[in-house]
Structure 1
């Protein structure tokens, strides 16, 4: 396992930083929370060729590694940029695995897919489940009817509004999970959204399916796509941690109280060092997740879940410490810290939440 980035990965990261910085704007995010239009950056994604990062060259994609995609999400997380890749990239791995007709359109970005994320069975919950609209209990995954249509509801679907295709799990009459693709313009498909919750950079929608025509994707592993989404969300969270740490350290050096920079006080040092410790821990398990995706797939579920847990906790702590470091102004709209706090609180709840990923790690380790 090589811990150093290749020249190509360095170039990808630098190009992503340059492109994303052109559209990053915290004021736009603030305005969206007040009712203005949320930022739309899919045109940039298509222009940069990011839509096909995880699609094979045979199907029109770039055929890069999962870790390459994670590097891109790190840069997006640093700037809180809206990008619609968290829903699109896991979906395209399923389209690519099944050689779905028209996959090249999704790889090129002329069309956009969204992942109907369903949590695979585990040691606690033995059924496929999806997000419910409310409450702590998860809902049953959609049903694949005998006539090939799909019925059910999936709430809080990342990047569903505006998508051309929904890709996810439907359980047939025998209880077997099937990967299905459903065109959003088909009969029986309803998407409520965009739904705003906490973070205005995040595109969410509630999907309802009533006898919606679907295509079964043979050869596609929906559990693998679930963990791809976990790894990507971990990477995006890690990027936000980096910014929170950088901004907090710089402020601690220049803000003086009682004639000393606040960073010289032990309590402040401990808080900032704890962000650093959690950031480094998250990066280590992210490397593990990116490596295991191709080189040791039997460990990918554990690695991706561990990365999601570590990065989620790191961002939650970093966002809170960023506010504490900046004092009173850190909790007001005069500063960007509340935007990072909002990102942390929504991210830690999406895709089963970090509680679920922690349970998954515990289950994997106990089973071993």
Structure 2
């Protein structure tokens, strides 16, 4: 059995890659992150209207294209290679899937068409003050019954400042967590941009002070576990794209940089190091695609494949980015060179939705029923 992208998926990848080559070069990326909202709004409109990036994994019944998370994965990998900042991960994947998993058909019918079009941005408020995405409790408390209000603080909210709608994970009762919808513009919601190591990721701290909310799901621990797996797998697509970019940059530089009268790429020791980089990229891509396939079909293997992919791809990108800096020499640590951006992307995404050691522990528990000692 051949496991590879279909002809249509390859065409999708090529379309996005060519678009980003024209409109998301190094200068464009730096200009986009230097001003609000932290991404190129014109490029996002093109991705949404002409490519349908945010609609790919949204069912047709809710205004989407009716494809799967695999197609979204293809787009994310290209965005990762270009280091393009966009709301696709936060709104098009995390928020859209949170709505679908909530099981609230009315909320899906009301919110998903705008998210699919890219005209409505939604953000999931989940991580607590400790920067962890938990499924058993939350630092935000929901109070009410017929009507609900939220109080508390959440951190590391992707695209939290630019979002129109907030989907909040909050404690909904003893031992229960739920998903709630909040109007981001309400005056009882305070949003503060949080500087990130990776400037292409737009993060926010969101504080709720009795903010009115609509309950979408009151006992959502199991659904949040699935959402966490989906989010972790989506991050691996960005990591694989960045790793491929780092490898390509390094190979190209090794052909141009001359030392001792010959290109440095002709030295056997450096060839071996770049061959090792290639192995890291290709193995990371394989585990990432396998996890995306499981996520798209909600396979029982998703938790294990998601944990494996996030741990493997995080460490692979860290290794490849480090080698990129080493093999480029002194210019790689200058602000003007993109190698430092790839290095920061590696370290930032390795923390997003769980560090590698946390996912290895999850994988061990799923395999053997207990955590390693």
TM-score range, shorter chain: 0.7 to 0.9
Contact 2:240 2:284 in 1 (8 A): yes
Trace 1:252-331 onto structure 2 (pairs within 5 A): 252-295=254-297, 297-331=299-333
Measure, in 2, the Cα distance between the counterparts of 1:32 and 1:212: 31
Measure, in 2, the Cα distance between the counterparts of 1:79 and 1:312: 18
Report the 3-state secondary structure (helix = DSSP H, G, I; strand = E; otherwise coil) of the residue aligned with 2:144. Answer: coil
Residues 26 and 140 from structure 1, CA distance in 2 versus in 1: closer, same or farther, beyond 3 angstroms? same
**Aligned residue in 1 for 2:87:** 84
After TM superposition, the score normalised by the length of structure 1 is 0.87
Measure, in 1, the Cα distance between the counterparts of 2:200 and 2:296: 31
1:62 matches 2:55: no
1:93 matches 2:93: no
- Post-superposition offset of 1:155: 1.0
**Aligned residue in 1 for 2:339:** 337
Residues 139 and 340 from structure 1, CA distance in 2 versus in 1: closer, same or farther, beyond 3 angstroms? farther
**Aligned residue in 1 for 2:211:** 212
Trace 1:36-185 onto structure 2 (pairs within 5 A): 38-41=38-41, 42-47=44-49, 48-88=51-91, 89-97=93-101, 98-99=104-105, 100=107, 101-118=110-127, 130=128, 132=130, 140-147=138-145, 148-185=148-185
Trace 1:212-231 onto structure 2 (pairs within 5 A): 212-218=211-217, 221-231=223-233
Contact 1:168 1:222 in 2 (8 A): no
After TM superposition, the score normalised by the length of structure 2 is 0.86
**Aligned residue in 2 for 1:192:** 192
Measure, in 1, the Cα distance between the counterparts of 2:306 and 2:367: 14
**Aligned residue in 2 for 1:19:** 19
Measure, in 2, the Cα distance between the counterparts of 1:341 and 1:351: 18
**Aligned residue in 2 for 1:122:** none
| RMSD of aligned alpha carbons | 2.5
Higher relative contact order (CA 8 A, sep 6+): 1
Contact 1:131 1:352 in 2 (8 A): no
- Post-superposition offset of 1:203: 0.8
- Post-superposition offset of 1:350: 2.0
Measure, in 2, the Cα distance between the counterparts of 1:104 and 1:2: 35
- Is there any run of 5+ residues in structure 1 with no aligned partner, and where? 119-129
- Is there any run of 5+ residues in structure 2 with no aligned partner, and where? none
Report the 3-state secondary structure (helix = DSSP H, G, I; strand = E; otherwise coil) of the residue aligned with 2:167. Answer: strand
Measure, in 1, the Cα distance between the counterparts of 2:190 and 2:298: 39
The alignment of Structure 1 onto Structure 2 pairs a total of residues equal to 352
Measure, in 1, the Cα distance between the counterparts of 2:174 and 2:336: 56
Deviations 1:277-318 (A, max 9, x none): 211221121122122124452211221121111111111111
